[in-house]
Structure formats: structure tokens, C-alpha cells
């Protein structure tokens, strides 16, 4: 295998014959080879560096998205720098434009929104990708606001004999809370189920307790769809206060797959949100924008939301 073949692989692996590509990849794995990014930048005038912009840590905890984004960047041979920027969209945009002009990075991934005018200002600068998963207050939008798993959970519970439901919603300032509430209402209507109403909570365990405490004794509710796991924990506590057994008397579901849900009694049925995949998808877009080719291992079929069925749900009592 010639050094020209290896060099071609490192520049554009898709341009090689499949057999040669496999041989080079096997050799790289055996030798534990990693590109020398400093030498490459001196030769090509490229820095081999990507920046990830995040809002202040006090308002947003992006660790899982960051781990997915960094994984993809490193697999493509880039060094990543994570920068926390204060201020709103306009302030972030101004700092981003300064960075894009500096020559220090080849691309920028912003996990926070930028000013609408930023796209036209980017001509001739470093590549920029903005993750469309959060609004300017770092509230989930886009796929994060997709409430369709609520319908899937309700369909399953209905198949187990549950007919009368209650939804304890999150703060309606969040698109995700509004999405889950709307799916709940639509599913009640579509399946011909009964609803004891929607309790508009605030994502807290206290709102879960309050929702259950306020139910009349003859409410007849057998399934409760909570906006998140913390609310669901409050629902479970409120049910215990009333002498109701989960899941013998009522079934309860949450959202977010908080690790504590696996240790509640009973363990909590929930929706796991793949934040790592969000970060991977965003970084793949940036790597393609910078280098023109997709990183190895790209998988667009990975689901963002997955229901985890546990002991807090069971067939309705007959």
C-alpha cells in the first residue's frame, strides 16, 4: 500500500476504492494513528478546530448534547473548543462573527439561537451551524417539543383497559409542554377516551401532588400522564397520600428518564430523550459544512424519543 493511497484516504476517503479504504482503515486501527492537527494546519492553513457556543451554564445544562457533538467532531479529526457566551441572541451573534473572522476555527456550532440577520452576515466567514432545538430562553422547540410519545403511551394504556385519564401538564410557556398537552387532548378525542381534565402545572413535584389532591373521590381516573418525571414523582406521592396504589389502582407515566425514576417504588414508566443524538446531528451538519463529507457512522434513523415501560403502568382493574 503506497503512501499516496494513505494520503488520498486522509484527504478524501470516499474517493478510494472500497478495498483500499478497508486496508487503510485496518492499518490505522492497528497502529492507533491520529492525525497531527498542528502539522496539518501549517501545511493546509487550516486550524482543525471547531467551536461550540453555549449560553451561560446557569441557565442551561447542555452536557449530554455536548458529549454527542464532541464525539462526532473528534471522530472526524477535529479539536473542539467550548465557549459560554453571555447575553441574548444579538450579543451572541456579535461574538460569533468576531470568532468566525478570527481564523482560529474552521466552523462554529451554536447550541443557542443567533440573531435572524446572522445568516446573511456569514458569507466568506467560517462555516456556522445553529442547532434548532432551543429558543432564546433555552426552552425546547423542534423535535424536543414533539409530544407524539404521549399518544403511544395512551394507546398502550387504552389497550390495557384504561378509559379515564388525567394529564398533569408542564408550564405552558414551553413548547414541549404545549405539545404534550395537545397530543393528550387529541388522543382522548381520537380514541374516544374520557378525560378528568388537564392540570396546568409548572414542572414541579408539588404540582403533581396538587393535581392528585384536588381530584374528587369519584374521579374514576385510572391513568395519569405527567409532563415529566419530577411531576410524576409528585403524582405518586399524592396517590400514596390518598391510599391509592401505583400501579394497582392507577398507572402513572413521566418524561425525561431521570435516573431516579428507576429507583422509585414502583419504578417509573417514562420517555428517554436522546440528547446525545441531538448533539451528534448538529455536529454532523457542521462537519459536512466544513469538510464536505459526512463523518463515519452517520445514523439518521436513531430515534430521539424512546418510551421505557416500567412498573408504574399496568392493566386497569376490572
Burial class (CB in 10 A: 0-12, 13-18, 19+), 273: buried
Per-residue confidence band for 43, with pLDDT thresholds at 50, 70 and 90: very low
Find residue 51's DSSP bridge partners: 81, 108
Does some domain include residue 315? no
User: What Å distances lie between residue 41 and 45, 104, 292, CA to CA?
Assistant: 5, 11, 18
Least confident of 11-20, 35-44, 93-102: 35-44
Per-residue confidence band for 1, with pLDDT thresholds at 50, 70 and 90: low
Is the same domain home to 156 and 215?
yes
Q: Three cell numbers at 307? A: 418510551
List the Cα angle 39/71/74 in 5-degree steps: 5
pLDDT of residue 34: 58
Backbone angles phi, psi at 106, to 5 degrees: -90, -20
| Total Cβ atoms within 10 A of residue 74 | 15
Residue 287: CATH number of its domain: 3.40.50.2300
Number of folded domains in the chain?
Answer: 3
Report the pLDDT averaged over residues 213-237. 96
Q: Tell me: pLDDT of 59 over 60.
A: no
Domain span at residue 93 reads 36-138+276-302
Largest distance between two CA atoms of the chain: 80
Q: Three cell numbers at 82? A: 467550548
Domain limit, last residue, from 273, 292, 313: 273
Percentage of the chain exceeding pLDDT 90: 51
- Whole-number average pLDDT of the chain: 84
60 contacts 85 by C-beta, under 8 angstroms: no
Is the same domain home to 29 and 42?
no
Is the same domain home to 27 and 76?
no
Is the same domain home to 149 and 259?
yes
pLDDT of residue 12: 55
Per-residue confidence band for 293, with pLDDT thresholds at 50, 70 and 90: confident
> Residue 197 — left, alpha, or beta (φ > 0 → left; ψ -120 to 50 → alpha)?
left
Report the pLDDT averaged over residues 247-260. 96
Is the same domain home to 43 and 112?
yes
Give the E-state strand segments of the chain in sequence order.
49-54, 79-84, 107-110, 127-130, 164-169, 194-200, 223-226, 251-253, 270-273, 305-308
Is the same domain home to 154 and 68?
no
Least confident of 78-82, 216-220, 254-258, 293-297: 293-297
Least confident of 1-15, 160-174, 287-301: 1-15
Q: Tell me: pLDDT of 174 over 60.
A: yes
Cα separation of 64 and 258, whole Å?
13
pLDDT of residue 123: 58
For the stretch 83-123, pLDDT in tens is 887 777 788 788 888 888 888 899 999 887 777 766 555 65
Is the same domain home to 55 and 14?
no
Does some domain include residue 218? yes
Is the same domain home to 17 and 129?
no
Find residue 84's DSSP bridge partners: 54
Cα separation of 146 and 156, whole Å?
18
pLDDT of residue 233: 97
Does some domain include residue 60? yes
- Counting every residue, how long is the chain? 318
Amino acid at each position: 500500500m503506497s503512501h499516496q493511497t494513505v494520503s488520498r484516504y486522509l484527504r478524501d476517503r470516499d474517493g478510494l476504492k472500497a478495498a483500499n479504504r478497508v486496508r487503510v482503515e485496518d492499518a490505522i486501527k492497528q497502529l492507533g494513528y491520529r492525525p497531527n492537527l498542528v502539522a496539518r494546519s501549517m501545511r493546509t492553513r487550516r486550524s482543525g478546530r471547531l467551536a461550540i457556543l453555549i449560553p451561560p451554564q446557569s441557565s442551561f445544562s447542555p452536557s449530554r448534547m455536548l458529549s454527542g457533538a464532541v464525539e462526532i467532531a473528534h471522530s472526524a479529526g477535529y479539536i473542539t473548543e467550548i465557549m459560554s457566551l453571555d447575553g441574548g441572541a444579538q450579543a451572541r451573534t456579535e461574538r460569533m462573527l468576531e470568532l468566525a473572522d478570527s481564523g482560529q476555527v474552521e466552523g462554529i456550532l451554536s447550541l443557542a439561537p443567533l440573531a435572524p440577520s446572522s445568516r446573511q452576515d456569514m458569507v466568506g466567514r467560517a462555516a456556522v451551524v445553529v442547532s434548532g432545538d432551543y429558543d432564546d430562553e433555552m426552552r425546547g422547540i423542534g423535535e424536543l417539543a414533539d409530544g407524539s410519545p404521549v399518544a403511544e403511551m395512551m394507546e398502550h394504556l387504552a389497550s390495557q383497559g384504561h378509559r379515564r385519564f388525567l394529564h398533569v401538564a408542564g408550564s405552558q410557556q414551553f413548547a414541549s409542554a404545549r405539545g404534550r398537552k395537545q397530543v393528550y387532548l387529541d388522543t382522548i378525542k381520537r380514541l374516544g377516551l374520557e378525560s378528568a381534565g388537564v392540570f396546568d402545572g409548572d414542572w414541579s413535584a408539588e404540582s403533581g401532588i396538587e393535581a392528585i389532591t384536588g381530584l374528587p373521590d369519584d374521579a374514576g381516573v385510572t391513568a395519569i400522564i405527567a409532563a415529566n418525571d419530577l411531576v410524576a414523582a409528585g403524582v405518586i406521592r399524592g396517590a400514596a397520600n390518598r391510599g391509592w396504589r401505583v400501579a394497582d389502582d392507577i398507572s402513572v407515566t413521566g418524561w425525561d428518564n431521570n435516573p431516579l425514576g428507576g429507583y422509585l417504588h414502583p419504578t417509573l414508566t417514562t420517555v428517554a430523550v436522546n440528547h446525545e443524538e441531538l448533539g451528534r446531528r448538529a455536529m454532523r451538519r457542521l462537519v459536512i459544512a466544513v469538510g464536505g463529507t459526512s463523518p463515519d457512522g452517520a445514523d439518521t434513523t436513531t430515534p430521539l424519543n424512546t418510551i421505557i415501560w416500567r412498573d408504574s403502568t399496568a392493566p386497569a382493574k376490572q
